[in-house]
Amino acid sequence: MNGSTITEFVLLGFSGSQFAQLFILPLVFTCYTTILVGNLLIMVTVRSDPKLFQCPMYFFLANLSLLDISFGSVAAPKLLTDLLNNGSTISYGACIAQVFTGHLLVGVETFILSVMAYDRYVAICHPLRYTIIMDRQRCLSLLLLCWLGGLIHGIYQTVVTTKLPLCGPNVLDGFFCDITQLKKLACADIYVSEMLYIFSDSLIILPNFLILLFSYVTILASICNHFKKGGKKGLSTCGSHLMVVSLFYGPIIVVYIKPSSTSQVNKVASILYAVVTPALNPLIYTLRNKEVKEAMKKLKNKCARFLLPQKE
């Protein structure tokens, strides 16, 4: 038995905003198309190139692309529907399913970004032991732990959310079910729930932040001490990952850690982390990564030879 008497929610979205129809709708459509095409292209490219597929960095990049497709598919279709309809409704069960899926995928991505930072740390600071430390068995074990951590986070957040005493009104000022909006509908003291949310978020954010901080401080210190050609190349390989980490954490901090008093700002931030960031990730990794671009050219040539008839 859940703690809510509400069976359905009304999602306001950008109801009545002409700006949303003229700008945000095509933006979301373009971003979602990029999410599907760009991330799928990275996955196919990594899988088709034996050199990339055996490299831990690209192994985790392919899994990051899978996460971006999954997370984008949780949010973007609902965003498009809401923008076309100027708002819509969602059942309580579907709302809770969105909460679980969203926090599961965000949790997994948080862990994977930290693992990718650790991978760069080992590659740059311990290059001679890199293939031993980051062997395929270790990579698979780390990936399993990422999914296990995300699953625990998603279940925990979902259970706490189902205990919220929601009595109405049943209006959510957003595009999809979001815990920050659901808490506003509580009709009783939710101090315990707030503490449980903070506890869960701390277990996810703090360890991963420390891993990221340790990895890149150590990497920068190592590069500064040996700033030759190898150092410049090492710094370049970290640039893309740092950009992705910044794009991932920035909007989440605005929405969850330091919510804005302006609902429109929160909505824009939600669109950024739910749709724009997953679309930018493949662009960042392909435009800044020479190895990925070369592998894509090889894949393009293979496809051309397969599709075009051979001259006798």
DSSP 65-119: HHHHHHHHHHHHHHHHHHHHHTSEEEEHHHHHHHHHHHHHHHHHHHHHHHHHHHH
> What does the DSSP assignment read for 127-190?
GGGHHHHT-HHHHHHHHHHHHHHHHHHHHHHHHHHHTS-B-S--EESSSS--HHHHGGGB-S--
Check whether 165 has a pLDDT greater than 80: yes
Average pLDDT (154-170) is 90
Higher pLDDT, 165 or 14: 165
The confidence score (pLDDT) of residue 231 equals 47
Residue 90 has pLDDT above 60, yes or no: yes
Residue 36 corresponds to which tokens in the numbers above? Answer: 């599907």
Tokens at 8, concatenated:
């359905």
Element (H, E) at 302: helix 290-307
Q: Cα–Cα distance between 266 and 105 in angstroms, integer?
A: 20
Residue 62 has a CB neighbour count (10 Å cut-off) of 18
Which is higher by pLDDT, 300 or 32?
32
What percentage of the chain has pLDDT greater than the value 70? 86
One-letter amino acid for residue 118 of the chain: Y
Helix/strand/coil for 9:
strand
Which DSSP symbol is given to 256? I
- The mean pLDDT of 148-175, rounded to a whole number, is 90
Cis peptide before 169 (omega within 30 of 0): yes
* Right CATH for 8-307 from 3.40.367.20, 1.20.1070.10, 3.40.50.920, 3.60.20.10: 1.20.1070.10
> pLDDT, tens digit, for every residue of 245-255?
888 887 777 76
Is the per-residue pLDDT at 120 higher than 80?
yes
SS3 of residue 199 by DSSP: helix
Pick 198 or 85 by higher pLDDT: 198
Cα 279 to Cα 147: distance, rounded to the nearest angstrom: 22
Q: Name the percent of the chain lying above pLDDT 90.
A: 31
pLDDT at 261 over 70: no
- Residue 274's pLDDT is what? 85
Which range (42-51, 106-115, 213-222) has the least confidence?
213-222
Residue among 285, 220, 196, 219 at smallest CA distance from 247 = 285
Whether 80 and 25 have beta carbons less than 8 Å apart is answered as yes
- The ranges assigned to domains in the chain are 8-307
Residue 189 is predicted with a pLDDT of 84
Q: Reply yes or no on whether the pLDDT at 311 is more than 60.
A: no
Residue 30 identity: T
Q: How far is CA 305 from CA 51, 149, 293, 296, 297, in A?
A: 21, 43, 19, 14, 12
Report CA torsion sign: 72, 74, 77, 83. Answer: negative
Q: What predicted TM-score, i.e. pTM, was given to this entire model?
A: 0.87
User: Has residue 257 got a pLDDT over 60?
Assistant: yes
Q: Is the pLDDT of residue 159 over 50?
A: yes
Cα 260 to Cα 264: distance, rounded to the nearest angstrom: 9
Task: Quote the DSSP letter at residue 129.
Answer: G
> Token pair of 62, please?
């392919």
Q: Could you report the per-residue pLDDT of 182-222, keeping only the tens digit for each?
A: 888 888 888 898 899 888 888 888 888 888 889 888 888 87
